[in-house]
């Protein structure tokens, strides 16, 4: 097996490991709230501040509550799920991941939303 194929399989497996961790997070009701080191060091809130609570609410089915903690979390969850499933499909079909195309407008859109979330977090 080539190194490239091994890395592709690792990436696909890592997606499912993260998905399993999310399911266990919900089922076991694990409290994982902690202070943000970025906020503690720089005294400003980063674009993902509130993200842990937002993911906890999202995985518990509380969509509006998740969005109130951090609106960026929903977009990152959807994008991560889409590309994670797409990578798994490509690995299954033995399509090289070098052919994975992410449109630059998707990247710009995510960066714009992350910047807006940073501004919102620091104006309250």
pLDDT tens-digit map of 57-103: 887 888 888 888 888 877 888 888 888 888 888 888 888 887 878 78
Task: Decide if 52 contacts 34 (C-beta within 8 A).
Answer: yes
Mean confidence (pLDDT) of the chain: 81
44 φψ region: left (φ > 0), alpha (ψ -120 to 50), beta (else): beta
The arithmetic mean of pLDDT across residues 4-24, rounded, is: 82
> Tokens 């994008």 map to which residue?
79
Per-residue DSSP letter, 48: T
pLDDT attached to residue 66? 85
Question: Which pLDDT score, from 0 to 100, does residue 84 have?
Answer: 87
Q: What per-residue confidence (pLDDT) applies to 9?
A: 84
Residues 6+ apart with CB under 8 A from 56: 25, 32, 33, 66
What range does the domain containing 77 cover?
3-123
pTM of the predicted structure, to 2 decimals: 0.67
Q: pLDDT above 70 covers what percent of the chain?
A: 94
Provide the domain count of the chain. Answer: 1
């Amino acid at each position: 097996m080539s190194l490239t194929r091994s890395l592709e399989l690792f990436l696909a497996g890592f997606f499912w490991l993260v998905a399993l961790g999310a399911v266990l997070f919900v089922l076991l009701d694990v409290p994982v709230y902690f202070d943000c080191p970025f906020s503690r060091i720089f005294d400003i809130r980063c674009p993902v501040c509130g993200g842990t609570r937002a993911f906890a609410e999202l995985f518990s089915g509380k969509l509006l509550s998740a969005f109130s903690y951090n609106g960026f979390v929903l977009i990152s969850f959807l994008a991560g799920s889409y590309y994670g499933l797409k990578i798994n499909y490509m690995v299954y079909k033995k399509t090289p991941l070098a052919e994975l195309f992410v449109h630059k407008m998707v990247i710009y859109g995510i960066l714009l939303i992350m910047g807006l979330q940073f501004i919102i977090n620091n104006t309250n």
